[in-house]
Amino acid sequence: MRRGFVLIIIFVEYIAFVCAQGTSNLSLVDTLSVRDRIALRTNAVDWLLLTPNIGIEYSLGNTNWNRWTIGVNVKGNPETSHTFNPGIVYNLMDIRTEVRNYWRTRDMSDPDNKQVPAHKNILQKLISQRRKQALHPKTVYFRGFYAGYTKYSILLGHEGKQGSALQAGMLYGIERPLYVYANGNSIDMELGISIGACYTQYQKYRHENEDDCYPVIGTETWHLIKHPVISDIHAGLVYRFGKYPLQKRYQWRYNIDTQYQAAMDSINLLRYKKRFERNYMDSIYNAVFNDFEHIYDSICKVNHVHPDSINLVRNSSKQAMTSKKRLHTLKAGKNDTPQKENTVKEKEKKARKEETAEDKKKAKDQKEDKEGKDEK
């Protein structure tokens, strides 16, 4: 029993290591995290037989359309101590590895699928997904192989067997979803059967009440049992981790691609809509901003031009006053010059008049003198 749990721990650690190595290379489409790829299971039938059991399953692919898994199951009912040897013995330790392939039925009633007929035979339906009508779309089927080692001691009647066995064979079953938690984890119901070959060796013994012992009455060496052996009848529960319950798992790749393309189209449409709205808002903002800048610049220019124009008017007024004063000065200078010239002319004219009057007086005096002389 301890070896079984040790093997489970080693298996989980190996899975975690492999996932850690491949996490960086996960594709960005429909990827499953390490948590999404792990599931725990237990068999209620073994619990009814007082045999504790647990199993772990890990998806071999990191996409939700992957349909292959590998798992390890351990169950055991170890020998317990008694004050007497009981007449019924059921001691068992079993460890097994399983490889499963999950699949869903496909509806072939579509007129486009006439070239691919649906299977009607019961044996064909057991291994094929094609149906004339998919009646249970939520049900997931599985098939696969198993191999295991069993150590047992079973006494249910007068004769018991104690030994070990190697087993290998096929398994088949179904799973249906039961409940999905708010965090994404889910619980599924599982029904299945395992049948195959058994290679075993054992000792025959019986229980003697008087001596309270188990005498050996025969021995069988390693041999192959000639008929198929049912090694497990499974009716239990599966607990899945992560955000991908059974409803989202083991889908057909074509359906996944179609759903993914539809999702991507909606995302791209939403992105285009947001980009268009952003460009539209940017254009409105730019138009409003440009108008605001134009009005603001015009107001600023007017505010700058107004004091400049006042200064220019003031400067021009000062220049005009200065020019006017200069003009008055020049005019005043021009008016003084003619007056001076007139005064000089008048003086010259007066002087000439005085000279003329003196000349006339002299001439008159000379004439009178001459006339006086003549009279004498």
Answer with the residue of higher pLDDT: 56 or 87: 56
Of the chain, the end-to-end C-alpha distance in Å amounts to 202
Domains and CATH numbers, the chain: 2-104+139-251 (2.40.160)
Per the document, the length of the chain is 376
Write out pLDDT tens, residues 126-180.
666 666 666 777 889 999 999 999 999 988 888 899 999 999 999 999 999 999 9
Whether 237 contacts 44, CB under 8 Å: yes
Helices (H) and strands (E) in the chain, counts: 4, 11
- Amino acid making up residue 203: Q
| Residues contacting 84, CB < 8 A, separation 6+ | 212
Give the least confident one: 141-145, 305-309, 352-356, 369-373: 305-309
pTM comes to: 0.61
| CA 175/CA 166 separation, integer angstroms | 27
Q: How far apart are CA 61 and CA 69, in angstroms?
A: 8
List, in sequence order, every residue forming a beta bridge with 235; answer none if it has no partner: 191
pLDDT, tens only, 198-257: 999 999 998 887 777 888 889 999 999 999 999 999 999 999 998 888 888 887 776 667
